[in-house]
């Protein structure tokens, strides 16, 4: 695996929940990745998500894309 020198923290600063059962924010995080994937899949078939991890409302961390794959908007 490549040597990681920087961590970029990006937030969307929302307490929005996908539905009443999305207590920890996992579902809205997954929805964000799914919608972006749908948007980019034809042009970039290997696209997974913009983020490696998503932090939910309760502080729980959810894996989004493999750490070995550079984040979509941070590769330069």
Report the predicted TM-score, pTM, of the whole model to 2 decimal places. 0.66
Q: How would you classify residue 59: left for phi > 0, otherwise alpha for psi between -120 and 50, otherwise beta?
A: left
- pLDDT (tens digit, 9 = 90+) per residue, 10-24? 666 666 666 778 778
Averaged pLDDT, 27-53: 84
Residue 44 has pLDDT above 60, yes or no: yes
Distance of alpha carbon 69 from alpha carbon 30, whole angstroms: 18
> Which one has a higher pLDDT value, 9 or 51?
51
Domain ranges of the chain: 1-76
């Amino acid at each position: 695996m490549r040597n990681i020198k920087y961590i970029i923290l990006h937030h969307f600063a929302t307490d929005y929940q996908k539905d009443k059962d999305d207590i920890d924010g996992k579902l809205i995080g997954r929805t964000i990745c799914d919608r972006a994937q749908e948007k980019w899949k034809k042009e970039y078939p290997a696209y997974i998500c913009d983020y490696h991890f998503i932090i939910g409302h309760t502080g729980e961390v959810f894996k989004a894309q493999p750490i070995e794959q550079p984040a979509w908007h941070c590769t330069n």
